[in-house]
Copies of this chain bind each other. A is one copy, B any other.
Amino acid sequence: MTATTGARDPHKLTGKGQATRARILEHAAQLIYAKGVHATNNEQLRRAAGVSGSQLNHYFPTKESLVLAVIAWQAESVLSFHRSEQFARFDSLDAFRAWADFYIGYEHAYQEGCSLGSLASEIIKTDLDVHDELASAFDQWRDTFREGIERMQQLGRISAEADPARLATLLLAAFQGGTLLAQVARNIAPLKDALQTAIDYLRTFATSPDVGVTAPQVGGGVHEAGGRLDSEDVSGGQGRLLAR
């Protein structure tokens, strides 16, 4: 239960060994995110990470151990991204808007999907026991939203009527589902619609008039091309988030 990362505890390796292990992990995460678990074999990993045969066996004795380590790595990436300064712990509607705009402008979102969600979908039905690891990650992700909404309530920014837990679940589900629909359609629009509509709902609980950039939910403002923030530079150190 504790050995979530698979064999070879990183802290028992030398500096060079840790570096090699990290390099493998990083490239594995990238490859798996781009091509999926099944389409990624160890020969590709060897070439990508510049390592060779027995190294994979040395640091990750089985493919399962590698996948588990990648899951942990991606989970940590997503969570640290959502906890980063740029979103101010989601204590305002603008923080949620900035978050949505980031993914709406993030091209990988509708190409490879969510780094955690697509991985989860692909292996959830296999015999790999990854439920606990993934469930914990998604719980923490949702709690990031929930705690932000609770803080907004404490700050008087939204009504006490709102149910933070349910709204947080809707936001995360809309993101995961919207990402899947966007992947299938090869078009960001479904994700954009889902996220903005969910945030529109959140806004209906706002206590102040709110200075939203777009009108509440009237008209199909979402369906035309232009973005609202362009979001390209909401990024900072989160290149790690989805790919890379």
User: Chain A residues in contact with chain B, CB under 8 A?
Assistant: 34-36, 38-39, 112-113, 117-118, 120-122, 124-127, 131, 134-135, 138-139, 142, 161-163, 165-167, 169-170, 172-181, 183-186, 190-191, 193-194, 196-198, 200-201, 204, 216-220, 222-223
Contacts and interface: CB of A to CB of B under 8 A. Distances in A.
23 contacts: A36-B126, A117-B180, A118-B125, A120-B184, A122-B122, A124-B183, A138-B185, A161-B218, A162-B217, A163-B197, A165-B193, A166-B193, A167-B197, A169-B190, A169-B193, A170-B174, A170-B197, A173-B191, A177-B177, A177-B178, A177-B179, A180-B180, A201-B204
A87 B3 CA distance: 48
A131, A166, A167 interface centre (most CB from chain B within 10 Å): A166
A178 B185 contact: no
B219 A163 contact: yes
B186 A180 contact: no
How many monomers of this protein are in the complex?
Answer: 2
Given A124-B113, A126-B38, A166-B217, A173 B161 contact: no
Contacts of A175: 177
A39, A124, A175 interface centre (most CB from chain B within 10 Å): A124
Nearest to A219: B163
Contact of A173 (B126, B131, B190, B223): B190
A36 to B, nearest CB: 4
B183 A180 contact: no
B170 A181 contact: no
A200 B165 CA distance: 14
A176 B170 contact: no
A214 to B, nearest CB: 11
A125 B114 CA distance: 12
Contacts of A196: 166
A219 B172 CA distance: 19
A64 to B, nearest CB: 14
A68 to B, nearest CB: 15
Closest 8 CB pairs of A and B: A121-B121, A173-B177, A177-B177, A176-B177, A173-B194, A36-B125, A169-B193, A201-B201
A181 B173 contact: yes
A193 B170 contact: yes
